Structure 1
Amino acid sequence: MDKALNEIKKESPFYTYLLLGIQFQENYSIRNLAIKFARTGDIVLLYNPSSVKKKPLWFLKALILHEIMHIINQHFRIKPKNAKEKKIWDLAMDAAINQYIPELDARSVPLNVLIEEGHGTDNDTIFVGPPAFMINATAEEYFEWIMNEFEKRKDFDVEALPDTFDDHSSLYNNPETTLEMILEITQNKIGKAFNMFGKELDSGLKQMISLSLQNSKVDWKTALRKFSGASKKGERYMTPLRPNRRYENLPGWKQEYKSKIAVIMDTSASIIDEELNQFITEIEKLSKYDVDIVLIQIDKSVTLVTKYISGKWKNLEVYGGGETNLQPAIDYAEKELNIEGLIIFTDGFVDIPHIKRRALFVLSSKYNHEFLEDAIKIYGKSSVIVLKN
């Protein structure tokens, strides 16, 4: 471990800074390496001495960087619902990471190859990577892609997929500390490392870290409480990932309980690029929470309806540029979507819409003061947030 750490220090000031203060603990119960968090929120890197001593130096360096990348990508936020979903998340997280580590990327098996072949390999020196047509995506995007592929195939055996070489359970199961503490400590450390040594990083990684470090103007955890208590059962659908209790050869039924929010983004001519960037940054931050987001773009009519997941900002096309009328988007969301509420991003240079569901207006820093006053009168003070510069 010491030799591998010394090599990393020679090659990368960025990773060296992130490794400062990390505790290293022996643990014979894990396969190779794993990350967990101490009660104080500090990072602990667990390693199996028996396994580590058998690894070549280049391999061990790559494993250490891999664990640090889990922290950079905030994979401690991910909470698999069951064992099968955990296996898919494990592959999705590793695909998001290994592409940034040359030694692992060169030896990776693309996700689409694993899915097409229907099984993995027992050789733990072969890692999972992204499909060639889906580079620089997030774990959330890879997870959604895998789930869609499984739904198409119907009879896919999730258990046939390979295990990842590191243990992720301790990464997102942290009963001794809070997510807020972990976020504060890790973001602070990553921010300092990025400010000092970020110029040396790969452009894709640099872009991902830069967005992650942008301070959200909204306390989304508190804001989302507005919609608590409004949750309903979502759609019931068939899935091959759940066995059918009555008919062994058929897929089972799954009930979706996650909160579903319609996010309406004003893309009219009065919205300038600075405001769009504010909106998209906040929508990306919101996507980190346990909500399903349907994004609706609107000028005088609905221009785009799409599901939004973390990382989608990179390829998000913005449509609009005409006059402003929020009502068509409100009507569409309330009539066509099974949602708990609406979050509306606008500059407020528009008539106040009529809304039947719970709603939150998020106004740009260049907002219309009259809209703010009218929205508070009609929907209450807690229904409006103003983004500051």
Structure 2
Amino acid sequence: MESKFDNEVKNLCEEANKIVDTFFKTNYKNDNVPEEFKSRFFILIDKVNLSLMEDEDNFYGYFLFQMEREIRFNISSPTAVNFKGAKYVIYFNPIIFLNLNIKQMESTIKHEILHILSMHLIRAKKFKENYNSFAVNMAMDIVVNTFLDNLPPYATTLDWVNVKYNLKLFPFKTFEYYVEEIQTAIDIDEEYREEDNDKDDKVETEYNPQNTHDIWEESSDIDEKTLKEFTEKFINNAKKGTIPEYLDSMVASLKSSNGELPWNLYLKKLMGTIESNKKKTITRRSRRQPDRLDLRGELRDHMAEIAVAIDISGSISDEEFNQAIKEVIGIVKNYKHEITIIECDNEIRRIYKIKFLKDIRERIAPRGGTKFNPVFEYVNKHKFNLLIYFTDGKGEEELLVTPNGYKTLWVISGRGDKLSLKEPYGIIKKLRSVEIKDDGADELIKSGFSMMNQEPERI
């Protein structure tokens, strides 16, 4: 027997289809949605919101209560969000949304709020500069959907991605991990073609994971720090009682962060942007000229040449460096890579290659102060993609050579204060204490913007 709520959903669904047939056959305009339909639809959303508020996860209900609501028939998902006019706005596509049951409706609303708490609206812009937007969308959805039950049958989940792309991705891993693995899979999927999305407004009647977050591009132009402050206000107003542990951890992480990625997460970002050679393949057509069967396609062929310089002048302890190099190895393991260790003080003392943590040698005794130039002279003469320099920052004020053809990441030890160079030619990060489990399955990182494990800490 159908409930009163189910009858309301059914009637609204029928009316939504009539609206599409009547007003949007030739041209979509949001202004054409009848006010009477909007009123009835949002009364139904109020009932869903009331159900959220009565649930043990009532945080979501109180968060939704603060959001502006709009109807958009041209989004390819049941719900979507962006930030406009100093408020978060949640959009509903009635054609897709009204085909869900109430628990699925709740989950798709929770899905959007988790994107907000993970700062995905800001992070997506950065990652789409170097990754396919489809890979970024799926990676973000995997991260948030891992924490949700009662998902729509078409939701992008870890299991679905593993089956579709023949992957073995693990749950509760980092956003960066999922992006890289999915991007690589997309690159070798000969059936996938990256196409320009049609930006013309049109009615969407089915879920399309490729375009689910396009509406984020309509967000107000706002910096990360300000958006974080607005988000904290929404969070504070939504905390009316105890919240689930995973939400509490996410909120605490967002509040404690200063909007800046710690060095290890920044390294993950750098690894994704390193320009790699491409190898030809006969299993894939050329993207630029897919009809030219005589042209071979290209796959990304990761071979990252990484130089890790360690200042042995006594500024960094063995414990600090061993922990840091363990993270470096863990971060680059998903890439083809070669790591070269450079021990130096006022000159280079030793150079050797490593693959595993056990390959790290006991450091030789320092003989002088700290000079950065010898390392840059060496790296300039060899084909490296990235230089990671661990130091207390106390060296020259100027480099005699300019870094050529590689990125530089300075990591200042806990004992150091700042880098002495006036022009660092790279990014400067502070070495932070991070606990890493030996099996590499779960990392506990005390700051950042994503979700990873069931405790859960977020990065």
TM-score interval (norm. to shorter): 0.5 to 0.7
Check whether the contact 2:69–2:89 (CA below 8 A) recurs between aligned residues: yes
- Give the aligned residue type for 1:85: N
Which of 278, 282, 287 aligns to 1:243? It is 287
Which of 144, 147, 163 aligns to 2:183? It is 147
More helix by share: 1
Counterpart-to-counterpart distance in 2, 1:207 and 1:170: 28
Q: TM-score, normalised by structure 1?
A: 0.61
What is residue 192 of structure 2 aligned with on the other side?
Answer: 157
Instruction: List aligned pairs for 1:9-20, cutoff 5 A.
Output: 9-10=53-54, 11-20=56-65
Tell me the CA shift for residue 56 of structure 1. 1.2
Instruction: List aligned pairs for 1:363-378, cutoff 5 A.
Output: 363-367=412-416, 376=420
Check whether the contact 1:263–1:345 (CA below 8 A) recurs between aligned residues: no
Q: TM-score, normalised by structure 2?
A: 0.53
> CA-to-partner distance for each residue in 1:138-196, whole Å, 9 max, x for gaps?
3432222122234445x233589x8229721012x136322436633355347758998
Instruction: List aligned pairs for 1:139-288, cutoff 5 A.
Output: 139-152=175-188, 155-158=190-193, 163-164=208-209, 167-171=212-216, 173-174=217-218, 176-180=220-224, 183-185=227-229, 187-189=231-233, 192=236, 200-202=244-246, 211=253, 213-216=255-258, 235=277, 238=280, 240=284, 243-245=287-289, 247-248=292-293, 250-252=295-297, 264=308, 266=310, 270=317, 272=319
Counterpart-to-counterpart distance in 2, 1:81 and 1:365: 33
What is residue 422 of structure 2 aligned with on the other side?
Answer: 380
Check whether the contact 1:218–1:387 (CA below 8 A) recurs between aligned residues: no
What is residue 123 of structure 1 aligned with on the other side?
Answer: none
Tell me the CA shift for residue 112 of structure 1. 1.6
Q: Does 1:323 align with 2:363?
A: yes
Tell me the CA shift for residue 136 of structure 1. 1.0
Tell me the CA shift for residue 213 of structure 1. 4.7
Check whether the contact 2:135–2:182 (CA below 8 A) recurs between aligned residues: yes
Instruction: List aligned pairs for 1:40-59, cutoff 5 A.
Output: 40=86, 42-59=87-104
- Alpha carbons of structure 1 residues 212 and 334: separation in structure 2 relative to 1, 3 Å: farther
Secondary structure, counterpart of 2:150 in structure 1? helix
What is residue 115 of structure 1 aligned with on the other side?
Answer: 165
Structure 1 stretch 50-59 or stretch 296-305: which is displaced more?
296-305
Tell me the CA shift for residue 16 of structure 1. 3.9
Check whether the contact 1:302–1:328 (CA below 8 A) recurs between aligned residues: no
Secondary structure, counterpart of 1:44 in structure 2? strand
Instruction: List aligned pairs for 1:291-306, cutoff 5 A.
Output: 300=343
Counterpart-to-counterpart distance in 1, 2:259 and 2:322: 13
What is residue 311 of structure 1 aligned with on the other side?
Answer: none
Which of 107, 112, 122 aligns to 1:67? It is 112
Which of 97, 106, 124 aligns to 1:78? It is 124
Counterpart-to-counterpart distance in 2, 1:20 and 1:275: 48
What is residue 447 of structure 2 aligned with on the other side?
Answer: none
Check whether the contact 1:241–1:252 (CA below 8 A) recurs between aligned residues: yes
Counterpart-to-counterpart distance in 2, 1:73 and 1:349: 36
- Give the aligned residue type for 1:148: T
Q: How many equivalent pairs are there?
A: 328
- Give the aligned residue type for 2:222: T
Q: Does 1:95 align with 2:139?
A: no
Structure 1 stretch 45-54 or stretch 329-338: which is displaced more?
329-338
Q: CA RMSD in A?
A: 5.4
Tell me the CA shift for residue 248 of structure 1. 2.9
- Alpha carbons of structure 1 residues 78 and 33: separation in structure 2 relative to 1, 3 Å: same
Secondary structure, counterpart of 1:46 in structure 2? strand
Check whether the contact 1:72–1:190 (CA below 8 A) recurs between aligned residues: no
Counterpart-to-counterpart distance in 1, 2:224 and 2:62: 22
Q: Gapped runs of 5+ residues in structure 2? A: 1-44, 196-206, 267-272, 344-350, 367-371, 433-459
Counterpart-to-counterpart distance in 1, 2:285 and 2:248: 35
Tell me the CA shift for residue 26 of structure 1. 1.7
- Alpha carbons of structure 1 residues 39 and 177: separation in structure 2 relative to 1, 3 Å: farther
Check whether the contact 1:14–1:193 (CA below 8 A) recurs between aligned residues: no
Structure with bigger RCO (C-alpha 8 Å, 6+ apart):
2
> CA-to-partner distance for each residue in 1:11-40, whole Å, 9 max, x for gaps?
214434533521111222224211111043
Counterpart-to-counterpart distance in 2, 1:56 and 1:345: 54
Check whether the contact 1:23–1:45 (CA below 8 A) recurs between aligned residues: yes
- Alpha carbons of structure 1 residues 273 and 388: separation in structure 2 relative to 1, 3 Å: closer
Which of 48, 66, 78 aligns to 1:21? It is 66
